[in-house]
Structure 1
Amino acid sequence: MHAWETIDQSLNYIEEHLSGEISTEELADMVGLSQFYYQRLFKRLVRKPVQEYAKLRRLAKVVEGLKDTDRRILDIALDYGFSSHANFTRAFKETYGITPEEYRKTLPMLNTFEKPEISMNYVLVDEGVPLVVGGIVLEIQRKTLEKPEIYLGFEAEVEISRQIPVGESTGIDVPGQLWKQYHAKKELLAANLNGRVEIGMSHMGNFAQGVFNYFAGGMIQKMPEQLPEGFVKQELLPGKYIVSRIEAENFEDLVTVKLDQANKYLFSTWLPRHNLTTEPFSVEKYFRDAEDMAYMEIWVKPLLPEKEK
């Protein structure tokens, strides 16, 4: 068994036992490693210590549970191993920056720590060859965009250190909030929207201040005479792109867990192992007309060698 497989095995165990006590010593024994080596290997592959990871996964489950307003907050916390309301509230606020009560009032989008698909870091596929792992189908290929695509939506600055998968922290999900804003107001553009394609665009911000810009919006078929208040325009420019197509069982899973996994695979595994670098820009392209599957694409611009420019 490879080292990563032992950690993957224990991640599955943790996921199945989030409601009870999780012992680091028992996890190490289960995979036949010393506690010292197991903890070092776990942190290296998961980027979190064992008990912190377990806490973050419990909190991620609690976030889902809090959407059920018919249940008491304390009951949901107890379901996932928190011993008291005070203990739970402290952990929740330290992680997300708001209390459980504040979250339930407005249900803002949150970055939660998802179970990693470690095996993806050790599988390399060629262009045009699908990778099937962990409930995701992923295929990477090159595309050339001949004409610009025009989009209208909302844009804001995002702290790099507070945005997963760019960072490793948790908190309010600014891109998610922009999507909520766009979907609440897109009817103002009903006569102008294509309706089939939406994008989330990450592009150059003030890196000295640790921020990038994120845009969320929809493709338009014609420009309105006047933009509704707050809307801005962005373009997906013509050129050569590397495109990662992702398929999943449902749209909600696709745009959360699977998008996170696909991003990490593309930027941490596939691009580096193909000796490719990209411009500080990426686009998540969502297709709203798929009836029998949920799919999307990640578009990045490779930095071309001088002779190809």
Structure 2
Amino acid sequence: MKQVEIVMAVQTMQEYIDAHIYEEITLKQLSNVAGYSSWHASRIFKDIIGRSPFDYIRALRLSKAALVLRDDEYKIIDVALDYVFDTHEGFTRAFSKEFGLSPKKYSQNTPPIQLFMPERVFDTYREFHKGEMNMSENKVTKTVFVQIIERPARKVLLKRGIKAIGYFAYCEEVGSDVWSMLTSVKEAIYEPIGMWLPKHLITKGTSLYVQGVELPTDYNNAVPEGYDLIDLPPCKLMIFQGEAYNDDDFMDEIGEVWDHIEKFDPTIYGYNWAPEVAPRFQLAPMGYRGYIEARPVVSVN
């Protein structure tokens, strides 16, 4: 059996789980959509994902339930039943084991927690087997939109790497769970971002590239172990946004925007690059909105 066929079968099971997360899901149902026996479907799922189908479903339901408890004022028992837990007690035990605190305590204080946000395994497989980016010589030049925004003084909760200067090296150093922790932060002003830090914000023995989430200056909730909370001053940022693209082509699209930025002259807008003023950052690549990256600038005197 080809590896790509196994990976596709596991992703098919992931997609079935997503579509039926509010319903009972049996191993028989998963094996049917995967096209293998129950034993084989369970084995390849755990081999690829690192969790059994049951553990995966439970962790995903608990993470989705945590977001409901974070953002809405539903009764715990109602959330438990929505996510296919039979009793309040069973949900509380499972939630406490997964996140280290009870759902009641979490809903009252909503500290950052490590959510389970699995990636689609075929998407990951495809990227690691894609090889060098293929940039066609006949590629049509695309539009990159540019605008200036102002960021107020703020804090940023971030996780540092070791030597990473980009996303993939960072994930190798710290793992791929940072984004799910940052996504759980209720007080976030904006969505999580990947950042290239100015020199003065890099502590000795840590990476240029980090991931973080921006927070109000009065943020006083918990700081997870291994994370830092730092202050950022007000700044101006030049935002570059590429055209919408097919999600499969995200590396090509990032390269397209980077090429544009490399050739771009900010003085036509009345600004100079200011890499030491604030972090350069990127939003998570999502095809429907185009690749988005921000570079700090200052007004030309």
Q: TM-score, normalised by structure 1?
A: 0.50
- Distance of 2:119 and 2:35 partners within structure 1: 21
Which residue among 44, 55, 63 is the counterpart of 1:41? Answer: 44
The residue correspondences of 1:52-91 to structure 2 (distance < 5 A) are: 52-91=55-94
The residue correspondences of 1:59-208 to structure 2 (distance < 5 A) are: 59-120=62-123, 121-123=125-127, 124=130, 126-127=132-133, 166-167=174-175, 173=181, 180=187, 199=195, 204=205
Per-residue deviation, residues 21-63 of structure 1 (Å, max 9, x unmatched): 2111331133221222212210122221110000011112101
Contact 1:286 1:297 in 2 (8 A): yes
Q: Which moved more, 1:83-92 or 1:56-65?
A: 56-65
What is the aligned residue count? 204
| Higher share of residues assigned strand | 1
Contact 1:199 1:217 in 2 (8 A): no
> Could you tell me which amino acid in structure 2 is paired with residue 127 of structure 1?
M
> Could you tell me which amino acid in structure 1 is paired with residue 195 of structure 2?
I
Q: Secondary structure at the match of 1:105?
A: helix
> Could you tell me which amino acid in structure 1 is paired with residue 37 of structure 2?
S
Q: Secondary structure at the match of 1:67?
A: helix
- Distance of 1:49 and 1:16 partners within structure 2: 18
Instruction: Structure 1: state its 5+ residue gaps.
Output: 131-150, 185-196, 206-210, 223-244, 250-257, 263-282, 299-309
Contact 1:198 1:219 in 2 (8 A): no
- Distance of 2:280 and 2:53 partners within structure 1: 31
> Could you tell me which amino acid in structure 1 is paired with residue 24 of structure 2?
E
Per-residue deviation, residues 77-130 of structure 1 (Å, max 9, x unmatched): 100100111100111111111111111112223221124212221241643759
- Distance of 1:104 and 1:127 partners within structure 2: 45
> Could you tell me which amino acid in structure 1 is paired with residue 126 of structure 2?
Y
2:19 is equivalent to residue 11 of structure 1: no
Q: Secondary structure at the match of 2:281?
A: strand
Contact 1:46 1:116 in 2 (8 A): no
Q: TM-score, normalised by structure 2?
A: 0.51
Q: Secondary structure at the match of 1:15?
A: helix
Contact 1:20 1:81 in 2 (8 A): yes
